[in-house]
């Protein structure tokens, strides 16, 4: 699979968002491990997880532990695999999410993630969400300390705006490796953050990248492969898919890759077939006309028109 830069390493152009394997509606462990192994077989070398990806109370770290077991059980080479995890959010078990961005919490959470993943140094550690009760520089400062201590190889931030990216980049002395924001056909309001990441040379990891084509697991049941339930707002993705003889999800991911060389989508998957299809997007080449057609805002549904200066890779 084609590779893209993330910090000082290269990862597969398409990653795996492992969250659906541990949250509501998750598959059994054997099926989940099969999905992770299918991703690795397809050339995926970036797996995104978090300590808060679990379903029930008392399950903190469920997804991290699952990923660790899957990697241990894999028969191939896992050396190139970068596991990206996150800290700073929690799930009480009632479906809600909490935010805790104190330096003490982040440092303790990092140590717990290292234990669950069975590593001395985390490949990528990301602050899951800014805590409005904690000065941003203090939260990011904790990431800098983890870097300096050698507990993490690279650090990133998630769910942030351009001002927070610039401040984090400064606090980290230019060592910010990634930004993970929501971005998809349906939700395009992080276009300014994507442009800034390109300017700074920071990887941009769209979460829930298939929104508008398939529903996020945070929003309810996933749509079928025809995008059922979404009307005609995103029909151009389905039109291009028919022209290429592929799924609209694959077209969606190829479109995201075409937006900028810093984009590394991390689609979630519950089934092996889903991640195999997603991984194949790295080899789908769209024409300039197709990219322009897909870049248009074809309906509301939470979509925000992208500025025309977001360049095509």
As annotated, the active-site residues are 53
74 has which bridge partners? none
Q: How far apart are CA 36 and CA 32, in angstroms?
A: 6
203 has which bridge partners? 178
Q: Which of helix, strand or coil describes residue 190? A: coil
DSSP string, 223-255: P-TT-TTSTTTTHHHHHHHHHHTS-HHHHHHHH
Q: Is 10 exposed, middle or buried (0-12, 13-18, 19+ CB in 10 A)?
A: middle
Q: Give how far Cα 160 sits from Cα of 103, 128, 165, 198, 218, Å.
A: 18, 9, 7, 15, 18
């Amino acid at each position: 699979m084609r590779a893209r830069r993330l910090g000082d390493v290269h990862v597969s152009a398409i990653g795996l968002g492992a969250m659906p394997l541990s949250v509501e509606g998750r598959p059994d462990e054997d099926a989940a491990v099969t999905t992770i192994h299918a991703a690795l077989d397809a050339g995926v070398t970036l797996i995104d997880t978090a300590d808060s990806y679990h379903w029930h109370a008392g399950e903190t770290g469920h997804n991290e532990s699952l990923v660790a077991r899957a990697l241990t059980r894999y028969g191939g080479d896992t050396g190139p695999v970068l596991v990206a995890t996150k800290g700073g959010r929690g799930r009480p078990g009632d479906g809600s999410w909490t935010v805790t961005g104190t330096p003490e919490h982040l440092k303790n959470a990092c140590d717990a993630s290292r234990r669950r993943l069975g590593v001395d140094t985390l490949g990528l550690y990301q602050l899951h969400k800014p805590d409005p009760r904690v000065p941003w520089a203090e939260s990011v400062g904790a990431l800098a300390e983890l870097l300096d201590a050698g507990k993490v190889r690279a650090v990133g931030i998630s769910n942030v705006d351009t001002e927070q990216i610039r401040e984090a980049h400064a606090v980290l002395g230019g060592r910010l490796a990634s930004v993970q924001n929501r971005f998809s056909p349906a939700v395009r309001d992080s276009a300014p953050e994507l442009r800034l990441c390109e300017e700074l040379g920071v990887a941009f990891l769209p979460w829930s990248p298939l929104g508008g084509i398939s529903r996020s697991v945070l929003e309810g049941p996933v749509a079928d492969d025809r995008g059922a339930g979404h009307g005609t707002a995103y029909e151009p993705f389905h039109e291009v898919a028919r022209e290429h003889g592929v799924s609209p999800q694959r077209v969606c991911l190829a479109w995201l890759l075409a937006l900028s060389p810093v984009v590394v989508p991390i689609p979630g998957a519950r089934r092996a077939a889903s991640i195999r299809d997603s991984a194949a997007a790295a080899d789908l080449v769209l024409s300039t006309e197709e990219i322009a057609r897909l870049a248009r805002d074809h309906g509301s549904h939470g979509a925000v028109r992208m500025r025309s200066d977001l360049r095509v890779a």
